[in-house]
Structure formats: structure tokens, C-alpha cells
Structure 1
């Protein structure tokens, strides 16, 4: 389980095989780096990518950014070797692809002692989302929307209507067990307006942030998934109004014509805490 309010507005995939990309990642304004040994690495380069990535991790310099490694599936010839190579590495979590059930998490948990994130990219994963989220080693979900669309044979639409049941199921399970939930990637990395619309939809659904495929997408994701100035100001006024009523013991708290209850104050405090965490120099 995640025990801090570390922001996950932006989670950028970085190929574990490319020294230049790994070096650049050290200076990017990203909340989490998804070091990729799976889809971003060709089969003939996978073994070498382990050495490249572990050397970069040993060198360090990634600052406060969450360091998450996507390994190959344990049913492939590379998966177990990936996990073994990461033993003792300075990482925050391992991201397991093609998760189907909690049994897949058990298999990885037996091989490592770091938190586990699950790629939710198959129909069975969606149906088993609650049991996967309930696993004590699971810290995060990543919606694998490209693979899921292929499995569903659904159309790609700006409103992602064919994907809504899956996205909302991922979120329901994640929220039921206090698991981080990251939205899937937006493939057209030069389409800033489309990315912003999809980030806004993911934010409004309840995702913590967006997985990204290109550094050019960072500004939009960081901005959309951060509390706005108006939201921060409203949160402060809600807390102040509620605390004043508690102190005087009279009436009910009202802000902008709306009653403020304890649940609103809890949300307001989370908003302020998230804004404060984002304001740290390395993440702002």
C-alpha cells in the first residue's frame, strides 16, 4: 500500500535499453519513471537491457521520482531473469504485465521483496480487479488500454466509450483497497489537445495520473492532474469555514452557498496535501 501522498500525475515509460533516454530521465519533471524491459525493448536486446538499466539505477541521480520497472511476464524466457537482475536495486516497485489474477502477483511476490504494480490489460484482469487490488503486495494499477482495446476488439474513440466499463472497474477496485491508479497512454504524442482532453477525462473519472510515452506529454499531464489554484483556494475556505463552526458550536458551515460537511473537509485536506507535495522543487 502507498503510505505517502507522493504525486503520480505523470508516469513516463523509458526504454531500459537506451542510455541516452535513461540519462535524460534524470532531469525530466516527471513524478514516476516506468523503466521498461518489456514492450519498449526488442527480443534480441532484452538481456542486454537488464545490464544497461541496473547500471543506470546503481549510478542513481533520479531524485525523488518514483522508480518503477516493468519486467517481462514471468511466463516468458526473460521475466524471471529480469526480476533476479533487480534484486537489491534502488527501485520503488516492479510493474508486472499481463496480470490475470492474484495468483500472478503471488508468483512475483515469491521472487522479490518490493511493492508490486499490476498492468490491467486483459478482460480477465478486469473481472478479477478486486482480488488483485486486495493482494497485500499490490501498490498500484496501470491501465493497459492498448492491449485491452486489442483484446476487446473495440474501436478507438475520443470519448473512450468502449473502454469505460474497464476503466471504471479498475478504479473501483483500486479505491476499494487504497491502490494507486494510473490511466493508460495516449498514443498521438503530438496531439496536445487530444492528450489534454483524455487527461481531463481520466482525472474526472478519478485516476491519480497518466502513463506517457513521450516527454512532450509531461506538461499537460502534470498540469491537468494537479489541483488548480481555484481548487486549492476553495479547499482552504472549506476547511476554515468548517473549523470555525466547530469552534463556535453554532450553525453549519457554508461556502459558496453549499454546505460543507466532514467528508468535504477530508477531500479538501487531501487537495492541499497533494498541492504541497507537488510544490517540492524537483516535482513542480
Structure 2
């Protein structure tokens, strides 16, 4: 097989699966890992793919921080459906954590007619939304205000979480990568999210499909910490299978 034929096959597989890893490529093509890495580097230089740790993807894997009012306009219909599906998982008498982000805000807007529900949140917008519900007790975490997400971070918020044990955490993220795990654009927010995970019995990630295969600056945790992911139909079947193989329940709305 010539290098041109090899490059064509790599691109065809990448378009079919969305992402590839070096190990499977060198085994299938019967060439060395060094050769595959050189192939991927050349294809990246031509703007045909993005290299990742151990492989390649079609989409730029690195996400950037955006103001919350800008993010609200992105995939708003998908986020609303994700929020509605997540709201159905909340029971009366639950004690839950809702993190920060526009997708978990969509969840807050869908919570209706729940009795004796306690919500701990880092998001100012989530707290303001839930204040309209008479049977929901809201505990707003305090700390350093992160203006781009209208949420708090820092050691004070983390110390408060040490005193609680909640049934469910609804977590929004900036990136979901099979190797890197869950991530966000803020290292301080990532650390707070880890404390939320420790304080929760079940971790439910709410993410629109554009976040898959992406990486933010701050790693939250590996995918082994995740119980369930709720997303939209834009996610590839290949990614769903990979997540389910890790024991994660995936709900596609």
C-alpha cells in the first residue's frame, strides 16, 4: 500500500467513525506506529484532521471559553430537550446538585411540581430560576464569581460541599473526551466539579453533541466517574457505543 492509499484509507475511516487511535491503525495497516504518527502529522498539516493524544479526530478537540449569554444561543433547542429529559430523573424528596452552564440552566427551567426538593447550585442563574418554585429549597454556594458562566468557584464553595451528601449531580461540561474524560475551560471550576462528584451518589452529565471529542483546559474527572450522559441526536453511534462499553448509560433525545 502506498502512502497516498494509506492516507486515503485513514481519512475514509475517520469520516466513518469520527475519531481514530494509532494502535488500531498500525495493526490494521500493518505499518509501524512511527509511520502512522507521521501520516497523521502530514494530514494535520494539510488541514484534513486534528491530532489527539494517541489518535486523530475530524473536529478541533480544544474548546474555548465563551460568555454565558453567547452560549445560551448555541444549540438552544437541543439543550431544552436535554433539560426536559434530565428533569424526569428528579424525584420528590431528592437532594441534588446542579452545577453551572447553559445546559443545566435548561434543566432548571424544566423542573416542575416537585415536592420537598433541595437543590445545591453554583449557578446564579439556576438559583434565580428555581426561586420561582415554592416547594424547592435552594442552597446557593458562595465564592469567587466567574463572570463568563455567572457561577461561583473557589475554596469556600468547595468547603461547603464537604458537609453534604446528595442523591444526584447534574453536571454541565465543555468537553467529553474518551481519553481525557470530562473537562471545562476553568481549572477552578473543574476542581469545584470534582468536589460535587464526591458529594453525590450519582453523576449525570448534560451535554449537547458538540462537546464530544472536545477538551477544555481543566480536567474534571475520568469517564469512570460518570453514571449517565444525556445528549442530543447529533452524537455519533460510534461515540455512543464507546461510552456504553465503559458502563455509562447514554440517553439520546
Same fold at TM > 0.5: no
TM-score (norm 1): 0.31
Relative to its length, the structure with more strand (as a share) is 2
Relative to its length, the structure with more helix (as a share) is 1
TM-score (norm 2): 0.34
